[in-house]
Structure 1
Amino acid sequence: MQPFVEDLAGQIRQAAWPLDGPGGNYHPLLDSLVDKQFILLGEASHGTHEFYQARIEISKRLILDRQINAIAIEGDWPSAARVNRFIRWQGHDSNANDALSDFRRFPLWMWRNTPMLGFIQWLREYNRGLPEKQQVGFYGLDMYSLYESVAAVLEYLDKVDPDAATLARERYGCLNHTGSERRYGYGVTLGQRPSCEDEVVQQLLNIRDRALCYAKPDDQRSQDEQFEAEQNARLVKSAEQYYRQMFNPRISTWNLRDSHMFETLQELHRYLSGRLSQPARIVIWAHNSHLGDARATEMGKRGEHNLGQLVRQSAGQRSHLIGLTTHQGTVTAASEWDGPGERKRVRPSLKGSIENLFHQTGLDCFYLPMTGPVAEVLGEPRLQRAIGVLYLPESERASHYFHCELPDQFDALLHFDQTQAIEPLDPESEWVSGEQDTYPSGL
């Protein structure tokens, strides 16, 4: 069996493009993206420096070639909206750190980290002096921000329609008896409080019906603000459903979440395309588990879908799904939910896994398109590692590995054999002291 593995590693090495030289040799990848409207850039963890840096470098190259109109992330809509205003020279923030400060939910390091700080400032400088329609935007696809989005809708209506704001406060008041999204869902499940489904749906319909009244046809900023408010109202509807169904074992809240992200992406693409009078092109940043086609993984076999699958089913050849992997190094992650960010050592990938197979190529980092003979030989199910906001090395196999058929999951892979933990903007003692005796020279 071992000679076969070595031969397979050799075939991968022959098909791979080493990412060497200043900024990485991304030209073959960029050439494959020329006609794509949805470019999905994944990550095997939420806390790896090289993953963020690669996505930043690829996104910059696409922006500089005037091929990309927006970055959409696995982050909440209202938090990303503050960044969007900053990079488009709107709002009141004077620096990138302040612009990122609405990302207050666990895990803070996911978007409040040092590579993001530089990238947000770069986007602002790029947009300087450009007409609003040509500026690159920054948007969130996720839906955890129930109460933040409620506040954003009310703030908007207070400005454009005070009477409608009063009615919206009455409707959204249904949600405010607990002060916690999870407590709201738990109370509905136990029958201790009524559902607010009708109220949040009605509010979304009302703000949609009034869109032409609120958005001035000759004022781009007015149209942008109305679109932003409508997406916040839709987020409230989705989040209410998500938290209400959270304790129902018959409902897949994963499917609810990824469906919302897909619908938000669709709405964003429709809106930007209308603004540009041509199809918009969007780069999406999220975890591999959201962006790789779920039908090629254990997720699909248990009835779960994800953003990557829905985009591929909808856009077909106009989409490109790119996964990012690593063999070993360090990662920023927590040991428990809502726990502090720690700099933790990532164990070498398991034998038989995709990452271990890539490690056997002897290449430090490379781009591998899932085409030709190499896609055929990688077609059988193999283990793949996924580290989210938690990393539990003591239960590595059970907690972080699943089976997938790689060529059906992604259109291409970027592999970084040795990786380092992302540096948070808000370092905690656990991160600063973590792996201090060997970091980074001991990788």
Structure 2
Amino acid sequence: MLVQRLGVPSDFDPLLARARDARVVMIGEATHGSHDYYRLREQLTRRLIAECGFSFVAVEGDWPDCDRVHRSVVGAAGGAADPRTALERFERWPTWMWANAEVARFCRWLRAWNLERPEAGRVGFHGLDVYSLWESMQAIFDYLGEEDPDSLEAAQEAYRCFEPYGKRVEEYGMASRFVSARCEEEVVRLLARTREHAASDGPDSFSAWQNAEVVAGAERYYRAMVGGGPQSWNVRDVHMADTLDRLLDRYGPDARGVVWAHNTHVGDARATDMAADGMVNLGQLARERHGAGAVCLVGLGAYRGTVVAAPRWGSAAETMVVPPARPGSVEHRMHELLPERAVLVFGGPDQPGWVTDTVDHRAIGVVYDPSFESWGNYVPTRLAQRYDGFIWCDEATALHPLPALVAPGELETWPAGV
């Protein structure tokens, strides 16, 4: 194991050496609400783009919202001149995950970087997640209305199937347990039509196809969610992995992608107790599909600090105090052994037991109660198997949300809100 004190972006060199030849680099976070994670992730991502030629950034966010950001950062026709304008249009709770000053700073840099390059070589920004059923449906209507009015009927049939449940599509999932309420056939027809148009290879047709995949994934997700167990989590992470693969195909045979998501999605689930519960995740699936050597998984963590989170699902965000990590945890051990900030690269014969043994590793979601620290908020983890590298902050501070409209978020499965 290599440990490098972290002070300036050049201190990422050991981690960059591990990531340089990877096709996919996933960079995590222990919370969705800490400035330091977003800032450090940005610094590493800039270097991956500028020095290693990565093709796109894909995040744990909705495709339609992120597509507006993408159009801004690549300078597409109709895209916002300032990516912050696109970020401020995020409506799904928790908006602060992406509508924050830290992401706006990165996206402004990315737009400036892109505008100095030919269109074919510009770096994209995309969403991987599955929640945006209605927004994706509307985007499909908009596309088909202009490009293929004859296919509108398939979209309208899918819309009519979901319409009785309004915006509360979890009610569709509940109804599907008791009556013949499934919309699978309508969604399959919609997918078939949009896939045909994706073959035309235009950016708008690809986006319509992806929106149709979101509708299909959401239909599966909401049916699985009401049944409990790991299935809805797995539907979501498989959808994100499939979206990542479509993006790699879309950008070409030499394409390389950076993923931003929570540690619970990035770190290989097989090195945690998630596997025993029947759960898979994005990092695991990427290693299985592309090979461990082609994937670099990077976790982030801190000992204490402040975080933006909500006390309950759908409530307003607050800045909360994150207490010192509990004794025996990975974070407590790093606090004792490491400098205030450090980069770890795992591997080699001389790794200490606290990175190879199963040790508690903190995970904070968008819903957080610091009083749970005595028993919750930790995932038993074999750190050096879960990640290829780790970025350590002894103290992390709260991020800076942008003003944004807030619509209710989707009900989530364990771990809460990640």
Q: What TM bracket, shorter-length normalisation?
A: over 0.9
Matched, 1:420 2:408: no
Report the 3-state secondary structure (helix = DSSP H, G, I; strand = E; otherwise coil) of the residue aligned with 1:243. helix
Residues 75 and 115 in structure 2, CA contact (< 8 A), matched pair in contact too: yes
1:189 Cα deviation from its structure 2 partner: 2.3
Corresponding residue to 2:209 among 227, 230, 235:
230
Structure 1 counterpart of 2:402, which letter?
L
Report the 3-state secondary structure (helix = DSSP H, G, I; strand = E; otherwise coil) of the residue aligned with 1:355. helix
1:120 Cα deviation from its structure 2 partner: 1.1
Corresponding residue to 2:117 among 130, 140, 152:
130
Structure 1 counterpart of 2:22, which letter?
K
Determine the C-alpha separation between the residues in 1 that align with 2:143 and 2:386: 41
- Partner in structure 1 of residue 410 of structure 2: none
1:29 Cα deviation from its structure 2 partner: 1.3
1:362 Cα deviation from its structure 2 partner: 4.5
Matched, 1:363 2:350: no
Residues 327 and 355 in structure 1, CA contact (< 8 A), matched pair in contact too: yes
Matched, 1:181 2:169: yes
Matched, 1:81 2:57: no
1:119-174: CA deviation from partner (whole Å, max 9, x where unpaired): 11111111114222100000110000001011111111111111212342133221
Determine the C-alpha separation between the residues in 2 that align with 1:34 and 1:410: 16
Residues 47 and 110 in structure 1, CA contact (< 8 A), matched pair in contact too: yes
1:93 Cα deviation from its structure 2 partner: 1.9
1:250 Cα deviation from its structure 2 partner: 5.6
1:94 Cα deviation from its structure 2 partner: 3.0
Residues 90 and 404 in structure 2, CA contact (< 8 A), matched pair in contact too: no
Structure 1 counterpart of 2:225, which letter?
M
1:190 Cα deviation from its structure 2 partner: 3.3
- Partner in structure 1 of residue 223 of structure 2: 244
Q: Would the alpha carbon gap of residues 372 and 66 (structure 1) be closer, same or farther in structure 2, given more than 3 Å must change?
A: closer
Structure 2 counterpart of 1:365, which letter?
R
Moved more, 112-121 or 134-143: 112-121
1:279-305: CA deviation from partner (whole Å, max 9, x where unpaired): 211000000000100011010111100
Q: Would the alpha carbon gap of residues 152 and 128 (structure 1) be closer, same or farther in structure 2, given more than 3 Å must change?
A: same
Scaled by the length of structure 1, what TM-score is found? 0.87
1:385 Cα deviation from its structure 2 partner: 0.4
Q: Within 5 Å, which residues of 2 pair with 1:401-420?
A: 401-420=378-397
1:398 Cα deviation from its structure 2 partner: 3.0
Taking only aligned residues, the RMSD between alpha carbons, in angstroms, comes to: 1.7
Q: Structure 2: any 5+ residue segments left out of the alignment?
A: 406-418
Matched, 1:118 2:105: yes
Corresponding residue to 1:336 among 304, 312, 320:
312
Corresponding residue to 1:381 among 358, 379, 387:
358
Corresponding residue to 1:279 among 254, 259, 281:
254
Moved more, 348-357 or 127-136: 127-136
Structure 1 counterpart of 2:254, which letter?
P
1:8-46: CA deviation from partner (whole Å, max 9, x where unpaired): xxxx8xx4100024x461111112222111001000010
1:322-371: CA deviation from partner (whole Å, max 9, x where unpaired): 10010001011111001111110001001110000000015101011111
Residues 237 and 265 in structure 2, CA contact (< 8 A), matched pair in contact too: yes
Matched, 1:49 2:25: no
1:97-139: CA deviation from partner (whole Å, max 9, x where unpaired): 2211342111111101111111111111111142221000001
Structure 2 counterpart of 1:291, which letter?
V
Corresponding residue to 2:236 among 248, 257, 264:
257
Report the 3-state secondary structure (helix = DSSP H, G, I; strand = E; otherwise coil) of the residue aligned with 2:143. helix
Q: Would the alpha carbon gap of residues 325 and 187 (structure 1) be closer, same or farther in structure 2, given more than 3 Å must change?
A: same
1:82 Cα deviation from its structure 2 partner: 0.5
Q: Would the alpha carbon gap of residues 362 and 369 (structure 1) be closer, same or farther in structure 2, given more than 3 Å must change?
A: closer
Determine the C-alpha separation between the residues in 2 that align with 1:383 and 1:171: 44
State the aligned residue count.
Answer: 401
Q: Would the alpha carbon gap of residues 427 and 399 (structure 1) be closer, same or farther in structure 2, given more than 3 Å must change?
A: farther
- Partner in structure 1 of residue 276 of structure 2: 301
Structure 2 counterpart of 1:302, which letter?
D
Structure 2 counterpart of 1:98, which letter?
T
Determine the C-alpha separation between the residues in 2 that align with 1:105 and 1:304: 25
- Partner in structure 1 of residue 285 of structure 2: 310
Moved more, 158-167 or 308-317: 158-167
1:374 Cα deviation from its structure 2 partner: 4.6
Determine the C-alpha separation between the residues in 2 that align with 1:144 and 1:374: 43
Determine the C-alpha separation between the residues in 2 that align with 1:382 and 1:129: 46
Matched, 1:290 2:276: no
Determine the C-alpha separation between the residues in 1 that align with 2:10 and 2:134: 41
Matched, 1:190 2:175: no
Report the 3-state secondary structure (helix = DSSP H, G, I; strand = E; otherwise coil) of the residue aligned with 2:274. helix
Determine the C-alpha separation between the residues in 1 that align with 2:244 and 2:294: 14
Structure 2 counterpart of 1:399, which letter?
G
Scaled by the length of structure 2, what TM-score is found? 0.92
Structure 1 counterpart of 2:80, which letter?
D
Determine the C-alpha separation between the residues in 2 that align with 1:324 and 1:297: 16
Structure 2 counterpart of 1:355, which letter?
E
Residues 392 and 399 in structure 1, CA contact (< 8 A), matched pair in contact too: no
- Partner in structure 2 of residue 218 of structure 1: none
Determine the C-alpha separation between the residues in 2 that align with 1:334 and 1:249: 23
